[in-house]
Amino acid sequence: MHVGRSYRLLDFAVWSRRGALYVLIVSLVAVAAYSLPPLAGFGIPWPIVAVLGTSVALVAGFKNGQVLQRSSDALQAFAQIAAISRLLATLSCDFLEKDVARRVILRHLAWLTALRYSLRRPMPWETVSQGVNRAFRRRYYQIQEDLTTLPQALTPLLGTAADAIAARPQPALALLHLQGEEINGLLKQGAVPTQVYSELMKLLRDCHDQQARCDRIKNTPYPRQYAAVSAIFVVIFATLLPFGVVPTFATMGGADGVLGTVILWLSVPFSVLIGWMYFALDLVGESTSNPFEGNANDVPISQISRDLEIELRSRLSDTELPPALPPVHGIAT
């Protein structure tokens, strides 16, 4: 997630340059078709282009609105997880034996770690593997899940049990089951008051709910039919746009001559600018539609998890804490 004032225009232009290059090529073809026989004077009526542009803007706006809702849901899920984590730490430290509280809190952090690794796994519909996104990540930031494996991340929290947990088909769910067994065992031993037991089980249920919420977002793509319609409409509009802009500028240029030629060629940068805006709008929506994949616009689950780990382990009076994950080039991961 970008947490700076704004993306730099140059960085954004480089990231979205492919759309501009496509419109540039089509614009040159449109100028050639208008200027050279046997298609001299060829163009598309501007009202047709305007109507198409309006339709594409509506489709792209609908897509981006839905994508923003997915991103907001993902951020809210992790905000709820943060609240659950803090309350769990408070109840554990206040009502459980010190060694039991440590086990419960570290197991909860292990669950959070396993969850974020699960949410970072690549899916076929995600855009993180696209060339522009890979190049942007290599240049500006890295995510923790690419630097360490799940067993390595779990070892400081679970010790020798890390490899066995990581080998489970669903490590995060397995850790929640272990947490439930421990809490039930405490009740049977009389080591926890009934009211505290009820609160701990409610928090465990909330962990299940938030994991299911995150899994739904991760495993369900933005409907491909809407994504395809938006992308196809943008390409169609960007292809036809120069053939409507060129005749308009030619009319402005009036008679033949140097001035008319200059004005005719001015249609190229204007076509590129308008077409690039539509391509960029669609690209931003597509790259934001999967809020856990690790793009620059995604929910910073690594940073949230690390901040919670530092906070909860501080409650346990640990002195060797992992370093914080500050934003790099304004991007929180």
Residue 206: beta bridge partners? Answer: none
Alpha carbon distance 33, 16 (integer Å): 27
Sign of CA dihedral 90, 92, 94, 100: negative
- Give the pair of three-digit tokens for residue 271: 């076509």
- Could you count the other beta carbons within 10 Å of the beta carbon of residue 124? 6
- Could you count the other beta carbons within 10 Å of the beta carbon of residue 79? 13
Q: What is the pLDDT of residue 79?
A: 96
- In this prediction the pTM is 0.89
- Give the pair of three-digit tokens for residue 240: 């036809």
pLDDT digits (tens, 9 = 90+) for 172-206: 999 999 999 999 999 999 889 999 999 999 999 99
Q: What is the pLDDT of residue 253?
A: 66
- Indicate the domain borders of the chain: 9-16+44-224+286-315
Alpha carbon distance 275, 313 (integer Å): 51
**Residues 213, 244 contacting (CB under 8 angstroms):** no
pLDDT < 70: residue spans in the chain: 39, 253-257
- Could you count the other beta carbons within 10 Å of the beta carbon of residue 312? 22
Q: What is the pLDDT of residue 15?
A: 87
Fill in the DSSP letter of residue 70: H
Q: What is the pLDDT of residue 243?
A: 92
Q: What is the pLDDT of residue 170?
A: 94
Fill in the DSSP letter of residue 122: -
Q: What is the pLDDT of residue 315?
A: 92
Q: What is the pLDDT of residue 87?
A: 96
